[in-house]
Structure 1
């Protein structure tokens, strides 16, 4: 997966386009409007529950949303979003301190990206806050290799990254991804891909993740809708840390989140990930998340469906589950929230897994272990944020997923 150090011929790129740049009228996808409508109906408008989220954008008890969604002038204050993060990824500033870059072209060229495309923006070396001039479907030909200090902000447009390769955050820092629909991602690779204005290199085959965080730090993924990718929806591996995954809406997928590369990769012991205010919806099977080695704070999420289990892990991860709502499936054999993988009971009983204030419905149960089995024990690391009561999870997660934001209106 690593980018080679082989330097190939350089390309001279024009300067970053100004925020007032005009949009282009011809998308690459043959019928993007139809795709946008279909996916929005399937993912974002699946129930009255989500439609009500737009009506209650203030005072929800969701600290991220209450930080910015009450502002009718959010479009003029976009970069303020960077100050609203919570959890282990709260210091991710993205492109807060840089210029605005407007995506006007839905096309993609992995080696010679045009100004106005998403790829051209994310590979620049300076901080950029990337927004979209119109609704679009972007079918990436190869992985989108994001440079440090970038924000991809989909508010104000219906933006779909779908039907091709998707997003890779590899050995970079300070990334924010907000308000994007990411679905139907495919494996790519065995091709040249540009990662900066002055370098491109050979990439081996990718896994087909929606968002792959590989050795990344200070990463925040918020208010995205993800479904139906070839491998994981969001994976964080190879020493990634300081990550927050919040307010996302995930549906129709098997292996949802992998956090930790392998049982033998000890560098992931330093991994710290906050999973907060997400809605794990219909058609999900397992890994919400699956954890290895590190410390994982799973707080105030709504689990309304799973096929095998919700939260699992191996290699002695610390899992702190607080204030979540778990609705077990009707099948008697799948009521357990947890799965201790790849170890005999005498080993996993020592792993520190706790459930505090979680709401268990339809027979759901959480198998605690290690220090988590004692309500009075102190965890080795402090919680990444304060949990709200599980009775508030419905209102906290009501607006999970990408939002229909319009200028001069509360989002």
Structure 2
């Protein structure tokens, strides 16, 4: 009996003394829980959970990642990213910079001289330097644009998995999961000058960190997306405009549908998230159904998100505008958009007012409840209608639908605390 008691005691002691560095659970075969946003609709979203052992990969560099992606094939696959992968590398893993991509005589100095609006005028760039810029941009695109196919799970291992410089492209893909990755600095070496954009001209860049085009059933969870490494506000000014190097952090366009974005962090960026790319894309009607919940938008200037056409459920998100950071708006209400916003929290410095949070471009409706602004409850709809510029028509509260696919909806204050602790890569419980 004494021996049995000693054995039991030893077993209990062993359970209590599991080492702190014990291996974390394998999240690579996780699937989207039932009712967790629009991506749970219909068949749900399982990613590569059905992959056989021959299609489970651990990748440590760009070449391995490209082989695992298999040209965007539909074969069920699980791809685990270990450490930091830089998309701007050659097939031997050697780093590439903008000079390595430049070809056909392209140089920024020559480009600026050729298309200076004072001499070139307001026409779009054309001729040898623009052709050289396009050829150079195509060389970079071959490296950094990575196609993600259907039935794929792309997941980071541990809490330090980084994909740097890449633009993940989901073109017509169905059933994709992207989780636990730090996606940073999708840096365009060759922005194009567009003289007439906004009346003053602007620089247009090519790459989103994640771009959904016609993609369906996509779950993006616990990712961190930012410009880390090359912030645009540190770039020079040419032709009186900031020489932007980054496009969107996450764009959902061209009829994409049934998307859930959860527990993710979008930071230090200008135009964060576009849902619907054109006012004239009437084929998007009935699509662009997206759920955004428990995400953090920190130091984001605009588009958090900007929506056209889509039915977007926006709940329990956290918005933070640091003191001194540039800011335009958070919620962009565009053509035929139907945004249903519940229990979101905004923290801003004194120069940002509640009336600044919503901007309308030909929008007609916004449903909002439970909003906190610097700790105080506000009615964003009433404030927008009272203080909009006059060029914007008043919004109504009837967006024509009520969300039914969602997890528990907490108060904005509780969600604000939970998201601060738990959103982003490396924080999956």
Other-structure match for 1:119: 66
Other-structure match for 1:233: 249
Q: 2:30 aligns with which of 64, 72, 80?
A: 80
Give 1:205-284 correspondences, 5 Å limit.
Answer: 207-228=206-227, 230-269=246-285, 270-281=287-298, 283-284=299-300
- 1:157 Cα shift? 5.2
- 1:79 Cα shift? 1.1
Distance 2:401 2:160 in 1: 42
| 1:103 pairs with 2:58 | yes
Task: Kindly indicate which of the two structures has a greater share of residues assigned to helix.
Answer: 2
Other-structure match for 1:64: none
- 1:87 Cα shift? 0.2
Tell whether the 8 Å contact from 2:318 to 2:346 is kept in structure 1 after alignment.
yes
Query: How many correspondences in the alignment?
Result: 300
| 1:89 pairs with 2:39 | yes
Other-structure match for 1:286: 302
Q: 1:380 aligns with which of 383, 396, 401?
A: 401
Tell whether the 8 Å contact from 1:94 to 1:149 is kept in structure 2 after alignment.
yes
Tell whether the 8 Å contact from 2:205 to 2:246 is kept in structure 1 after alignment.
no
| 1:304 pairs with 2:320 | yes
Distance 1:188 1:213 in 2: 22
Structure with max Cα Rg: 2
- 1:359 Cα shift? 1.4
Q: Secondary structure of 1:213's partner? A: strand
- 1:138 Cα shift? 2.6
- 1:361 Cα shift? 2.0
Q: 2:83 aligns with which of 135, 152, 177?
A: 135
| 1:166 pairs with 2:167 | yes
User: Over residues 54-85 of structure 1, what are the superposed CA-to-partner deviations in whole Å (9 max), with x where a residue is unaligned?
Assistant: xxxxxxxxxxxxxxxxxx87534641344477
Tell whether the 8 Å contact from 1:328 to 1:337 is kept in structure 2 after alignment.
no
- 1:380 Cα shift? 2.4
Tell whether the 8 Å contact from 1:94 to 1:175 is kept in structure 2 after alignment.
yes
- 1:103 Cα shift? 2.6
Give 1:325-340 correspondences, 5 Å limit.
Answer: 325-332=345-352, 335-340=355-360
Other-structure match for 1:355: 368
Runs of 5+ unmatched residues, structure 2: 1-21, 89-142, 191-203, 228-244, 386-392
Structure 1 pair 76–130 and aligned structure 2 pair: CA distance change class (3 A): same
Moved over 4 A (4+): 332-335, 362-365, 368-374
Runs of 5+ unmatched residues, structure 1: 1-71, 109-116, 190-204, 406-410
TM-score when normalising by structure 2: 0.64
User: Over residues 108-160 of structure 1, what are the superposed CA-to-partner deviations in whole Å (9 max), with x where a residue is unaligned?
Assistant: 3xxxxxxxx1121122431012113x322332513110110000010325221
Give 1:127-206 correspondences, 5 Å limit.
Answer: 127-132=76-81, 134-140=82-88, 141-156=143-158, 158-163=160-165, 165-187=166-188
| 1:399 pairs with 2:422 | yes
Other-structure match for 1:32: none
- 1:388 Cα shift? 1.7
Distance 1:246 1:332 in 2: 26
Cα RMSD for the two superposed structures: 2.8
Tell whether the 8 Å contact from 1:170 to 1:215 is kept in structure 2 after alignment.
yes
Give 1:45-84 correspondences, 5 Å limit.
Answer: 75-76=25-26, 78-83=28-33
Higher relative contact order (CA 8 A, sep 6+): 1
Structure 1 pair 161–84 and aligned structure 2 pair: CA distance change class (3 A): farther
